[in-house]
Amino acid sequence: MHNIMPSIYGLNFLEQSILSIIPEVVIIIFAFMVLFLTFFEKLAKGKNSYYLSLIGIGFSILYVFMLSGRNLIGFYGSVVFNGYEVFLFIAILLSGFFAVLISKDYIENFDIPYPEYYSLILFGISAMMFLVSSNNLIMVFISLEFMSICAYILTGYIKGSTRSTEAALKYFILGAFASGFLLFGSVFIYAAVGHLNLYAIHTYLENISYGSPNGLSRLTGISEYLSAGLLLFLVGLAFKMSLFPFHAWTPDAYDGAPTPVTTFMATGIKVAAFAIFLRIYSLIYNFNIINFNDILWLLAVLSMTFGNIAALLSSNIKRLLAYSSIAQAGYILIGIIGGGLYGYSGTLFYLLSYIFMTAGAFVIVIIFENSDLISLDIKKYTGLGYKRPFIAAAMSFFLLSLAGIPVTSGFMGKFYVFSSAIKSGYNWLVFIALLNSAFAAYYYIKIIVKMYMPDNEDSVNSCVIAEGKNYGIINGSIGDGLLITILICLFFTLLMGIYPQIFINFANYSAASLWRI
């Protein structure tokens, strides 16, 4: 059982509580500062909100580094901060950093107020960080809803765009539906165990299953409630992780949302949902009240297969990336099924590499997007390799990384995740996953081939030739924020591919602290 007031650092309860949420609090303070800019008409106009949000994220990263190495438990065990949080906070803050960087040029094209937009992104980041560090079913629910509400508003942010509003509507209905399942699941968990604290539930289950040969199945009353609760809880989280039977909102919401918001959803929200699922899985699902690994096995296989087939059939690049993110969610789940320290650290490594490659691919979509819907068609990418060689090369690299070709971070991520599943004896699962990645390589490489094909057909590259209407290319050159994001993503995708050791060590340290209570 965790100690409510450990005196390792000589801190009292209040000091420890405050320290454990400092990175989130910094982000929230900056979010309010950005929001208050709207009161002053002069300040709200320019780029102040943009720079202020970047500074806020920078400060938060600084505080995460300053706090790293500590093992803090705040607010009577509701919030924890240890190595696991350090890794995921940095991942989430990076995805928020990218989302802010790439928004600047994009939202100037619309008649929408800037400060609210940036403050919503900052609130979203803080909600994700709270979600990752939450250790109590109440905190999980509140921060999940906080995060989702920010995402609903951001999805429907483009005023007067029917597509954006419709995406927000679909996302809201399905997201709230999922939250209902999650909430009803926690009722049953609470009824079975009588605790809301995740560590307390873990300890309780450990104590009653100790010494009995059949584990929990002996205690019928508890195991029935608990398995029902955990199944409903899994449904709720699977919606947020966009696994197959619960994926329906993903393509629509990703397609209709403003593209920087899509990037934010595809990277940040997915990472946060997987992070909290990994924590709950390692603490509660691991007791195998019923055989959850079989259910996850099925979810992973279905997500991969469905995601890849649907991505093959779609011609809109945003939809293609949305379906491919469903397939990627299936791959990430394999690491969790594989389990153990090795599987969990592989999952974390994959999540980090996924942020870089997905953000990179979406940035390039933004660069060639304009108010014309056809600009999202993958046919429009024909001949890009000759017009803008650097961007085409970067896009090819990100797509190869998503496909899992060696020398890229996607390959190393897949390697760690699959080998952990092999270690645990899930040979068929890995076999299906390998078939799937071979199949997925087809549609990724199809885009690359298109980019390096001379455009002799009627597909005039109106989106490549800047007309002043492009969202990413202003006066013939790419915006700074977009360029910086591409360079960071390229650097890390390459570095994680050729020298994964530092990152996997970090992930190992972080996954090990899942159990350090």
Partner 1 sequence: MNNYLIVAGIIFCIGALGVLMRKNLIIVFMSLELMFNAANLGFVAVSDRLNLISGDIFVIFVMVVAAAEAAVALGIIVAFYREKGTIDIDKANELKN
Applying CB under 8 A, the residues found at the interface with partner 1 are 137-138, 141-142, 145, 149, 152-153, 156, 160, 162-163, 165-170, 172-173, 176-177, 179-181, 183-184, 186-188, 190-191, 194-196, 251-252, 255-256, 313-316, 319
Which run of H or of E encompasses 435?
helix 427-451
Contact in structure between 172 and 226 (CB atoms under 8 Å): no
**3-class DSSP assignment, residue 81:** strand
Contact in structure between 510 and 86 (CB atoms under 8 Å): yes
- Distance between CA 41 and CA 2 in Å, rounded? 50
What's phi and psi for 327, nearest 5 deg?
-65, -40
Q: Looking at the chain, how many residues does it have?
A: 517
Q: Is 118 left (phi over 0), alpha (psi -120 to 50) or beta?
A: alpha
Count Cβ atoms within 10 A of the Cβ of residue 132 and give its class: 0-12 exposed, 13-18 middle, 19 or more buried.
Answer: buried
Which run of H or of E encompasses 465?
none
For tokens 């087809």, name the residue.
442
Reported in sequence order, the residue ranges of 321-467 that DSSP labels E, i.e. its strands, are none
Q: What is the dihedral of CA 361, 364, 366, 368, to 10 degrees?
A: -140
Contacts for 282-285: CB closer than 8 Å, 24+ residues apart: 282/344, 282/514, 282/515, 283/198, 283/199, 283/201, 283/202, 283/514, 284/189, 284/198, 284/201, 284/202, 284/205, 284/230, 285/230, 285/234
DSSP string, 15-63: HHHHHHTHHHHHHHHHHHHHHHGGGSHHHHHSSHHHHHHHHHHHHHHHH
CA separation, residue 211 to residues 206, 219, 266, 281 (Å): 10, 13, 44, 22
- Distance between CA 74 and CA 95 in Å, rounded? 26
Structure tokens at 400: 């190869």
Which run of H or of E encompasses 456?
none
CA separation, residue 128 to residues 32, 88, 121, 161, 367 (Å): 17, 10, 11, 27, 27
Question: What residues contact 502, with CB distance under 8 A and at least 6 apart?
Answer: none
Residue ranges of alpha helices (H) inside 74-219 are: 83-107, 114-133, 137-155, 162-193, 198-209
Residue 509's CB is within 10 A of a number of other CB atoms, namely 18
- Distance between CA 316 and CA 228 in Å, rounded? 39
